[in-house]
Amino acid sequence: MNDAASRAIAITGMGAISAFGEGAETLWAALREGRSGIRPLRHERAADLRVRVAAQVPESFDPAAHFPERQLSMLDRTSQFALVAANEAIAQSGLDFAANGLGLRTAVVVGTGVGGETTQDEQSRRLYAENASRLHPLSIVRLMTNAPTSQISMAHGLRGPAFAVASACASSNHAIAQAALMIRAGLVDVAVAGGTEACLSFGAMRAWEAMRVLADDTCRPFSANRRGLVLGEGAGVFVLESMAHARARGAQVLGVLAGVGMSADAGDIVAPDPAGSASAMTQALADAGLSPGDIDYINAHGTGTPANDPTETTAIHHVFGTHAPKLAVSSTKSMHGHALGASGALELVAVLGAIRDGVVPPTANLDAPDPACDLDYVANTPRELRVRAALSNSFAFGGLNAVLAVRAP
């Protein structure tokens, strides 16, 4: 067995909740059809915002249908999403964590960019606008960044390493990478990893408006008339196992996490550097034992902002050279929105779907080609394509980059 093969990680379960509703297959069905989940924002103060669109989890999501009242009182929306996705992923994996002490050999790593933002916003309003003398007694355990991780570990009796990862828009990919590295190191046999975000509070929307990076109509990655990103929310969670562990129990392998790459721009806090992005992609390829020509598809970070899209295009050209024009590249944020710390997890669902079904999801709304963005972005229409291996890119504010290399089982 070559070294790259020995480091490969089996993905045996996935779960999600997104602007399309509950379920990883629900998310993938929408993406492979090129449907958009961007809609008018539902919020009691939407009229006070300039930007009134988002990729929001539908009203049909009823937390009370998933959690008893006592537990629900402890769960911010970001933890609700994480648990729904984790429960789906674990059920699909078929693992019994009570058997043979597996819970002691299972890690939980969940990424989130802002944590319990809904709780923070609600309690701040009570304190400062309503002059409340007392806040909700469970505010801290609801809003803390590690709450989703802790809730998953408690719900399933997972007693291995458990922690949160916060690296803005790269949080999911960093979390999944850390989980994979622990499995490789032999610290654990299994990991539950992914990302979650519920960032559509009034305060967060105001803050994003102030940065002037939000589009007020829709998201158009790589298009000359792009106007910015559209915020989204949701969660994606995966069950990862050492290949030996998965094979020993005869598990269905959804995809192989073959390599990870991580880097820091060490430059500007908001302006991306193509050298940093390129470094993470190059590392992911090397870690996976793949050459540029082995990659058929890249799920791009593709936010739809003026700075990100040409920078990512430049980085892809740098890494892939003459193979770059042959790549299928798409940004699914054009459909599920930019869910910040959860984005990479939602995008991994898209990558696994593309590999399984041989369909690349499109970049929606790409109606005006930009000369600075000159790759094949699978504009507007899904494409049938055999995907042997793919990269999933996440590049965050702060210059923090994390790339996953995934191949067919």
Statement to judge: residues 227 and 315 lie in one domain? no
Q: Is residue 171 part of a domain?
A: yes
Q: Is residue 338 part of a domain?
A: yes
Alpha helices, DSSP H only, in 67-201? 69-72, 77-93, 117-124, 139-143, 147-156, 171-185
Nearest to 142 by CA among 231, 211, 192, 82: 82
Nearest to 89 by CA among 20, 178, 27: 27
- pTM for the full predicted model: 0.98
Statement to judge: residues 278 and 353 lie in one domain? yes
Q: Is residue 227 part of a domain?
A: yes
Statement to judge: residues 214 and 89 lie in one domain? yes
Full residue range of the structural domain in which residue 134 is found: 3-248
Q: Are 78 and 164 in contact (CB under 8 A)?
A: no
Statement to judge: residues 31 and 49 lie in one domain? yes
pLDDT of residue 4: 77
How many helices (H) and strands (E) the chain has is answered by 14, 15
Q: Is residue 136 part of a domain?
A: yes
Look up residue 194 and give its amino acid: G
> Where does a domain end: 248, 273, 298?
248
Q: Cβ atoms within 10 A of the Cβ of 151, count?
A: 24
Check if 301 is active-site: yes
Both structure tokens of 98: 């009570």
Statement to judge: residues 271 and 237 lie in one domain? no
* CA distance readout (Å), 102 to 86, 91, 106, 107, 400: 17, 15, 6, 10, 33
For residue 297, give the H/E element and its range.
Answer: strand 297-299
List of residues 6+ apart from 150 with CB closer than 8 A: 162
Q: Cβ atoms within 10 A of the Cβ of 91, count?
A: 12
Statement to judge: residues 229 and 117 lie in one domain? yes
* CA distance readout (Å), 201 to 78, 114, 227, 260, 273: 12, 11, 21, 32, 30
Statement to judge: residues 152 and 133 lie in one domain? yes
How big is the CA angle at 39 (ends 38 and 40), to the nearest 5 degrees? Answer: 140
Statement to judge: residues 233 and 197 lie in one domain? yes
Packed helices 274-288 and 308-320: angle between N→C axes, nearest 10 degrees: 40
Check if 43 is active-site: no
Strand partners, 217: none
Statement to judge: residues 231 and 312 lie in one domain? no
Alpha helices, DSSP H only, in 186-307? 202-211, 243-248, 274-288
Statement to judge: residues 218 and 311 lie in one domain? no
Alpha helices, DSSP H only, in 200-339? 202-211, 243-248, 274-288, 308-320, 333-336
Statement to judge: residues 197 and 331 lie in one domain? no
Per-residue pLDDT of the chain (409 residues; tens, 9 = 90+): 467 777 899 999 999 999 999 999 999 999 999 999 999 999 999 999 999 999 999 999 999 999 999 999 999 999 999 999 999 999 999 999 999 999 999 999 999 999 999 999 999 999 999 999 999 999 999 999 999 999 999 999 999 999 999 999 999 999 999 999 999 999 999 999 999 999 999 999 999 999 999 999 999 999 999 999 999 999 999 999 999 999 999 999 999 999 999 999 999 999 999 999 999 999 999 999 999 999 999 999 999 999 999 999 999 999 999 999 999 999 999 999 999 999 999 999 999 999 999 999 999 999 999 999 999 999 999 999 999 999 999 999 999 999 999 999 9
Distance CA 163, CA 158 (A): 12
Per the residue annotation, which of 199, 336, 338, 373 is the catalytic one? Answer: 338
Q: Is residue 358 part of a domain?
A: yes
Per the residue annotation, which of 156, 169, 199, 373 is the catalytic one? Answer: 169
pLDDT of residue 1: 46
Both structure tokens of 378: 């699978």
Distance CA 349, CA 236 (A): 8
Check if 169 is active-site: yes
Q: Is residue 344 part of a domain?
A: yes
> Where does a domain end: 248, 277, 297?
248
Q: Are 352 and 346 in contact (CB under 8 A)?
A: no
> Where does a domain end: 207, 225, 248?
248
Distance CA 362, CA 381 (A): 5
| CATH value at residue 270 | 3.40.47.10
What's the DSSP call for residue 320? Answer: H
pLDDT of residue 2: 61
Distance CA 287, CA 259 (A): 5
Taken as a whole, the chain contains a residue count of 409
Pairing between β-strand 106-111 and β-strand 162-165 as defined by DSSP bridges: parallel
pLDDT of residue 3: 77
Statement to judge: residues 186 and 310 lie in one domain? no
Q: Is residue 50 part of a domain?
A: yes
Distance CA 241, CA 184 (A): 9
Task: Give the number of domains in the chain.
Answer: 2
Q: Are 276 and 267 in contact (CB under 8 A)?
A: yes
Per the residue annotation, which of 156, 174, 245, 301 is the catalytic one? Answer: 301
Q: Are 167 and 398 in contact (CB under 8 A)?
A: yes
Q: Is residue 253 part of a domain?
A: no
Distance CA 281, CA 260 (A): 8
Q: Are 240 and 11 in contact (CB under 8 A)?
A: yes
